């Protein structure tokens, strides 16, 4: 008996196409029984707190092993396991007679309920909280926590949702694609899959019907999972997969549209290790070199010589190529005792970025001096930019200091609406601008990008954000000066084409995203990119803008 082909749909992440066998993630541990404890309160409390502490340590260790964005996510989850309110709730349940495992279950369930009620991004985090609870309970009960199935042959992993602790350490030679029943484009599964370059489809409700061992086709570009594919359909998918892989592998030169229009494809780096990854991914240079790693967790700013050594090591990886250095961007979520102000009620709107550096100008001058000295000892084409520029006057002051210390390419970041709307005047002074779409989106909507309750507004596809980017693009064209993108938006292959249509001349992203973006932009001419941009600009909201542009990609 032949079962007819059917389609399961979700939200695609990436452009990959994979044929493979399904392996289901085991279900979570069963709910602990509501039996009264036959141990003492102190014994139960020790069991709970020890398991919570060990789980937090394990999450942090996994983060260190994985690095990058996964480390940040796992560190945040470790903090959840040590939350003082949660610990107090666990203790309260134990004092009322609960076992350690039941107390942990109840406390985490209450925490998750609050997060779900908040909706949006915060609700998606509730699933991560459930995974932490499972890991704690497994330690208390001395059983293995559910995890990624072990296999020596490649498979497609299907789960209700995949915990960051599991996603961070996936073996990409074995796990070829991810499918989740829950989650959305801002879930940690989607974020980490995008960073790692792994094809994924999230929020595929009907994926609950998939069974272990069945062969499916996962097409991240269309968000479709094909069940019971015919032999002909499988052969067709394998050929298409090979074609896409060949396109990615072959697209190792400069970023080019179908008509030969050049768009530099650069990498975001924050350390020497990530610089190596950028070179391996055939980046044309660096569009954002974050220098915070030298300053964070220090009580004083590093010396000029210490900074020079670190900058030189990175610059030497890109001989003859552009490296755009962002001077120290501290404040808000990155406070520094020697630079930023304590006790600001809203530090995201306070003295951060260039404002903090101007308030401690010697730190800025020392950093720029170190960059200038490192530039002189390498062949990299070093450009320097300031974060959080809001006015023309700030631009003038920064560029003047750069000129004083011998830096010849001085630009600014466009991260707030005021600098986007003043781009014409700013580019009369600055040599270039680079748009940070993460912060530009945050400030356009007055919605803290670190606050889960307003995460539904954090979407660079919003026509409001796109219109600001167009203003900057037009200013770049009028002044004949470069306009780059160094935010997360650059890593979305569809949005990358739209951004080019808005006047962007370079795109900087995670090294793993370069191949997909390079391959995708080569399919469109500049005229077509501008047409896509106009469609997105005419939309009422981010969802419609994405749908209108994506339709053109698949038809």
Each residue's pLDDT tens digit, 347-366: 667 777 899 899 889 999 99
Res 265 pLDDT > 90: yes
Does residue 339 lie within any of the structural domains?
Answer: yes
pLDDT attached to residue 124: 62
Of 555, 514, 507, the closest CA to residue 532 belongs to 555
- 106 and 11 inside one domain: no
Phi-psi domain of 68 (left: phi exceeds 0; alpha: psi -120 through 50; beta: other): left
Domain of residue 85: give its range.
41-141
Helix pair 463-479, 542-554: axis angle to 10 deg: 70
Q: Which has the minimum average pLDDT: 22-36, 157-171, 259-273, 318-332?
A: 157-171
Give the domain CATH number at 276.
3.20.20.60
Res 477 pLDDT > 90: yes
Q: Calculate mean pLDDT across residues 181-187.
A: 73
| Neighbour-count burial of 84, counting CB atoms closer than 10 A to its CB (0-12 exposed, 13-18 middle, 19+ buried) | exposed
- Of 78, 108, 141, which one is at a domain's C-terminal end? 141
Res 452 pLDDT > 50: no
Residue 209 backbone dihedrals phi, psi, to 5 degrees:
-80, -15
Of 170, 410, 380, the closest CA to residue 279 belongs to 380
Lookup result for tokens 């009322």: 96
pLDDT attached to residue 121: 56
- 490 and 395 inside one domain: yes
- 414 and 545 inside one domain: yes
Residues contacting 492, CB < 8 A, separation 6+: 460
Res 189 pLDDT > 90: no
Does residue 35 lie within any of the structural domains?
Answer: no
What are the tens digits of pLDDT across the range 207-259?
999 999 999 999 988 889 999 999 999 999 999 888 877 766 666 678 999 99
**HEC profile of 62-83:** HHHHHCHHHHHHHHHHHHHHCC
- 223 and 75 inside one domain: no
Length of the chain: 555
Q: Regarding predicted confidence, which is higher, 525 or 203?
A: 525
What are the tens digits of pLDDT across the range 81-107?
888 889 999 999 999 999 999 999 999
- 342 and 195 inside one domain: no
- 181 and 199 inside one domain: yes
Model confidence at 501, pLDDT cuts 50, 70, 90, reads very high
> Which residue is catalytic, options 45, 93, 373, 486?
486
Q: Calculate mean pLDDT across residues 162-173.
A: 76
**DSSP conformation class of 116:** H
Model confidence at 114, pLDDT cuts 50, 70, 90, reads confident
- Other CB atoms within a 10 A radius of the CB of residue 552 amount to 16
Q: Regarding predicted confidence, which is higher, 54 or 456?
A: 54
- Of 141, 160, 190, which one is at a domain's C-terminal end? 141
Does residue 36 lie within any of the structural domains?
Answer: no
CA 10 vs CA 26, 130, 180, 181, 513: distances in Å: 21, 22, 9, 8, 21
Model confidence at 454, pLDDT cuts 50, 70, 90, reads low
- 220 and 197 inside one domain: yes
Q: Which has the minimum average pLDDT: 137-141, 202-206, 337-341?
A: 337-341
Query: Which is it for strands 285-290 and 381-386: parallel, antiparallel or unpaired?
Result: unpaired
Q: Calculate mean pLDDT across residues 293-316.
A: 87
Q: Measured over all CA atoms, what is the biggest interatomic distance in the chain, rounded to whole angstroms?
A: 79
What is the rounded distance in angstroms from the CA atom of residue 254 to the CA atom of residue 263?
A: 8
Q: Calculate mean pLDDT across residues 35-61.
A: 91
- 58 and 183 inside one domain: no
Report the Cα 517 to chain-centroid distance in Å.
Answer: 15
Give the domain CATH number at 97.
1.10.274.10
Does residue 120 lie within any of the structural domains?
Answer: yes
Q: Calculate mean pLDDT across residues 113-134.
A: 72
Give the domain CATH number at 15.
3.50.30.10
Q: Calculate mean pLDDT across residues 465-488.
A: 96
Res 162 pLDDT > 90: no
- 308 and 340 inside one domain: yes
Cβ atoms of residues 171 and 152 within 8 Å: no
What is the rounded distance in angstroms from the CA atom of residue 94 to the CA atom of residue 99?
A: 6
Does residue 33 lie within any of the structural domains?
Answer: no
| Neighbour-count burial of 453, counting CB atoms closer than 10 A to its CB (0-12 exposed, 13-18 middle, 19+ buried) | middle
What is the rounded distance in angstroms from the CA atom of residue 531 to the CA atom of residue 502?
A: 10
Cβ atoms of residues 166 and 142 within 8 Å: no
- 217 and 272 inside one domain: no
Say what percent of the chain tops pLDDT 90.
52
Res 3 pLDDT > 80: no
Of 260, 330, 253, the closest CA to residue 294 belongs to 330
Assign 388 to helix, strand or coil.
coil
Res 555 pLDDT > 60: no
- Of 232, 247, 262, which one is at a domain's C-terminal end? 247
Q: Calculate mean pLDDT across residues 375-389.
A: 96
CA 335 vs CA 83, 246, 315, 446: distances in Å: 21, 45, 27, 20
Instruction: State both tokens at 515.
Output: 């191949």
- 65 and 199 inside one domain: no
Residue 551 backbone dihedrals phi, psi, to 5 degrees:
-60, -40
**DSSP conformation class of 22:** E
Q: Calculate mean pLDDT across residues 303-309.
A: 94
Instruction: State both tokens at 54.
Output: 């060990």
Instruction: State both tokens at 360.
Output: 């401690």
- 137 and 159 inside one domain: no
Average pLDDT, the chain: 87
Domain count for the chain, please give it: 3
Q: Regarding predicted confidence, which is higher, 252 or 171?
A: 171
Does residue 31 lie within any of the structural domains?
Answer: no
Query: Which is it for strands 381-386 and 410-414: parallel, antiparallel or unpaired?
Result: parallel
The verdict on whether 45 is a catalytic residue reads: no
Does residue 183 lie within any of the structural domains?
Answer: yes
Residue 23 backbone dihedrals phi, psi, to 5 degrees:
-125, 125
For every residue of 224-263, DSSP letters joined together read EEEES--HHHHHHHHHHHHHHHHHHHH--SS-B-TT--B-
pLDDT attached to residue 62: 80
Q: Calculate mean pLDDT across residues 444-463.
A: 74
What are the tens digits of pLDDT across the range 135-159?
899 899 888 777 788 788 999 999 8
The verdict on whether 425 is a catalytic residue reads: no
Does residue 243 lie within any of the structural domains?
Answer: yes
What is the rounded distance in angstroms from the CA atom of residue 187 to the CA atom of residue 164?
A: 10
> Which residue is catalytic, options 45, 93, 188, 360?
188
């Amino acid at each position: 008996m032949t079962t007819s082909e059917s389609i399961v749909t979700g939200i695609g992440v990436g452009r990959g196409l994979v044929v493979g066998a399904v392996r289901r993630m085991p279900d979570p541990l069963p709910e602990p029984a509501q039996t009264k404890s036959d141990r003492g309160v102190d014994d139960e409390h020790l069991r709970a707190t020890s398991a919570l502490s060990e789980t937090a340590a394990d999450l942090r260790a996994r983060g260190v092993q994985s690095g990058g964005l996964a480390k940040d996510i796992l560190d945040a989850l470790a903090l959840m396991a040590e939350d003082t309110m949660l610990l107090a709730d666990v203790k309260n349940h134990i004092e009322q007679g609960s076992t350690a495992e039941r107390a942990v279950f109840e406390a985490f369930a209450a925490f998750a309920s609050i997060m779900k009620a908040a909706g949006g991004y915060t609700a998606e985090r509730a699933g991560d909280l459930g995974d932490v609870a499972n890991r704690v309970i497994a330690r208390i009960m001395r059983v293995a926590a559910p995890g990624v199935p072990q296999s020596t042959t490649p498979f497609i992993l299907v789960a209700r949702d995949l915990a960051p602790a599991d996603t961070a350490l996936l073996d990409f030679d074995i796990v070829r694609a991810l499918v989740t029943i829950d989650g959305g484009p801002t879930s940690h599964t989607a974020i980490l899959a995008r960073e790692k370059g792994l094809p994924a489809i999230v929020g595929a409700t009907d994926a609950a019907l998939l069974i272990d061992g069945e062969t499916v086709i996962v097409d991240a570009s269309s968000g479709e999972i094909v069940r019971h594919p015919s032999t002909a359909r499988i052969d067709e998918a394998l050929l298409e997969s090979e074609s896409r892989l060949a396109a990615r592998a072959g697209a190792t030169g400069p970023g080019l549209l179908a008509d030969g229009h050049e768009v530099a494809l650069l990498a975001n780096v924050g350390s020497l290790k990530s610089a190596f990854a950028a070179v391996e991914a055939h980046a044309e240079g660096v569009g954002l070199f974050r220098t915070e790693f030298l300053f964070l967790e220090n009580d004083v700013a590093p010396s000029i010589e210490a900074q020079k050594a670190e900058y030189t090591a990175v610059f030497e990886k890109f001989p003859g190529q552009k490296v755009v250095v962002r001077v120290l961007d501290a404040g808000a979520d990155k406070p520094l005792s020697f630079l930023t102000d304590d006790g600001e009620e809203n530090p995201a709107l306070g003295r951060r970025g260039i404002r903090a550096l101007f308030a401690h100008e010697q730190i800025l001058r020392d950093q720029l001096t170190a960059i200038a000295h490192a530039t002189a000892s390498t062949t990299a084409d070093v450009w320097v930019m300031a974060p959080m520029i809001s006015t023309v006057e700030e631009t003038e002051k920064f560029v003047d200091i750069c000129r004083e210390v011998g830096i010849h390419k001085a630009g600014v970041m466009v991260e707030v609406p005021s600098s986007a709307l003043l781009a014409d005047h700013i580019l009369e002074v600055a040599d270039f601008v680079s748009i940070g779409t993460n912060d530009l989106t945050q400030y356009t909507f007055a919605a803290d990008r670190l606050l889960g309750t307003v995460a539904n507004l954090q979407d660079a596809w919003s026509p409001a954000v796109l219109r600001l980017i167009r203003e900057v693009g037009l200013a770049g064209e009028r002044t004949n000066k470069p306009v780059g993108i160094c935010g997360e938006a650059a890593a979305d292959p569809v949005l990358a084409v739209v951004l080019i249509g808005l006047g962007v001349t370079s795109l900087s992203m995670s090294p793993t995203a370069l191949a997909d973006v390079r391959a995708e932009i080569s399919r469109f001419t500049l005229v077509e990119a501008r047409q896509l941009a106009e469609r997105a600009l005419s939309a009422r909201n981010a969802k419609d803008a994405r749908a209108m542009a994506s339709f053109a990609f698949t038809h």
